[in-house]
């Protein structure tokens, strides 16, 4: 594997090997396989979890970590993303963790990288967020075991614009999940092949019946300006996860959210902070998964 751009390209055995290695890191495995290697977090969009957990992961592997902040960089003078990467590459950086606003933006940079340089997609447009997909699978596996074939997983919200949902869907299919249910406003569901094979439910209560995991997505508030959602109140009424609603799921169902959360919109405080929530476990697993990915590409 030269770059990590999507989970679509990862066969099952490769995906499982990455999860196994991430679990070892989560259990305390240590080492400095990236000592002497320079890794740059090259983010052209904001981030808290992905950027910092990649930095933490690279540090734990012994790498030298450089942080590029678009807002204080020469991109504000018109320098392109490609020129930015090539200049940092000229400084001897071998690993780039890249977040880009355009679909395929990271792949386009990867195509122009030198041999020996690896790019890890930290989210591009609405297309893919592969390490989020991996950390979600690791979190689900820890909670429910390695056999996904009997699991019913519900994904709720703005799937149309969600790179997280696309990577989760790819990984869930690769791991042979039993059933994927989808719920959200029709205006926020994709009309391409993304949801092939999924059970689409308009009614959130019906969608929740007996599911083992509920993956909530952030309502991208800018979609309201586009007229794709009527109001925050309406959204919460129809698609907000409340403690009362969660009782419709399996008694041991788990709740996940990639963050950042809109509390009181797609998820209530008592669910986000409640005993069934794995939200902070997801964040912790982000470091372990990103260590596994960096090691696989650069170690």
Nearer to ligand CP, 60 or 99 (CB): 99
Residue 99 labelled as part of a binding site: yes
Nearer to ligand CP, 47 or 59 (CB): 47
Compose the 125-164 pattern: x for residues touching ligand CP by CB under 6 A, - for all others. Answer: -------x--------------------------------
Q: By CB under 6 A, is residue 259 in contact with ligand CP?
A: yes
280-286 contact pairs (CB < 8 A, 24+): 281/139, 281/142, 282/135, 282/136, 282/139, 282/256, 282/257, 282/258, 283/49, 283/53, 283/259, 284/26, 285/22, 285/26, 285/135, 285/138, 285/139, 285/142, 286/49, 286/50, 286/53, 286/131, 286/132, 286/135
Nearer to ligand CP, 14 or 49 (CB): 49
Gap between the Cα atoms of 84 and 139, Å rounded: 35
Measured from the CB of residue 35, what is the shortest distance to ligand CP in angstroms? 26
Select from 254, 39, 30 the least CA-distant residue to 153: 254
Contact segment (CB under 6 A) with ligand CP among 2-10, 208-216, 246-254, 258-266 equals 258-266
Strands in 147-225 per DSSP E: 152-156, 179-183, 199-201, 213-216
Q: By CB under 6 A, is residue 299 in contact with ligand CP?
A: no
Q: Spell out the residues 6+ positions from residue 171 whose beta carbon is closer than 8 angstroms to its own.
A: 7, 15, 133, 134, 136, 137
Measured from the CB of residue 149, what is the shortest distance to ligand CP in angstroms? 27
User: Of 6-65, which residues contact ligand CP (CB under 6 A)?
Assistant: 47-50
Nearer to ligand CP, 43 or 148 (CB): 43
Compose the 85-104 pattern: x for residues touching ligand CP by CB under 6 A, - for all others. Answer: --------------------
Nearer to ligand CP, 99 or 181 (CB): 99
Gap between the Cα atoms of 189 and 184, Å rounded: 7
Residues of each annotated binding site = 49-50, 77, 99, 129, 132, 163, 218, 259-260
Question: Which residues would be at the binding site for ligand CP (CB under 6 A)?
Answer: 47-50, 123, 132, 258-260
């Amino acid at each position: 594997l030269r770059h990590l751009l999507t989970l679509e390209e990862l066969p099952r055995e490769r995906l499982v090997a990455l999860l196994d290695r991430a679990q070892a890191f989560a259990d305390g495995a240590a080492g400095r396989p990236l000592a002497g290697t320079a890794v740059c977090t090259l983010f052209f969009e904001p981030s808290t979890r992905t950027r910092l957990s990649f930095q933490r992961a690279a540090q734990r592997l012994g790498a030298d970590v450089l942080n590029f902040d678009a807002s204080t960089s020469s991109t504000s003078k018109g320098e392109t993303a490609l020129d930015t990467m090539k200049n940092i590459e000229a400084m001897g950086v071998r690993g780039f963790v890249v977040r880009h606003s355009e679909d395929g933006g990271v792949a386009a940079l990867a195509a122009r990288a030198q041999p020996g340089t690896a790019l890890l997609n930290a989210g591009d447009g609405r297309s893919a967020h592969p390490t989020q997909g991996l950390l979600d699978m690791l979190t689900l596996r820890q909670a429910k075991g390695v056999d996904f074939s009997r699991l019913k997983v519900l994904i709720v919200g703005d799937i149309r614009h969600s790179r997280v949902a696309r990577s989760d869907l790819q990984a869930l299919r690769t791991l042979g999940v039993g059933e994927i249910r989808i719920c959200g406003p029709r205006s926020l569901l994709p009309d391409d092949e993304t949801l092939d094979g999924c059970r689409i439910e308009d009614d959130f209560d019906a969608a929740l019946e007996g599911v083992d995991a509920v993956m909530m997505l952030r309502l991208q508030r800018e979609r309201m300006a586009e007229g794709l959602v009527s109001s925050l109140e309406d959204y919460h009424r129809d698609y907000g996860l409340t403690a009362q609603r969660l009782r419709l799921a399996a008694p041991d169902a788990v709740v996940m959210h990639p963050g950042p959360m809109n509390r009181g919109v797609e998820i209530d405080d008592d669910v986000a902070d409640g005993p069934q929530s794995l939200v902070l476990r997801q964040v912790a697993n982000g470091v372990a998964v990103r260590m596994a990915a960096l090691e696989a590409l650069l170690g």
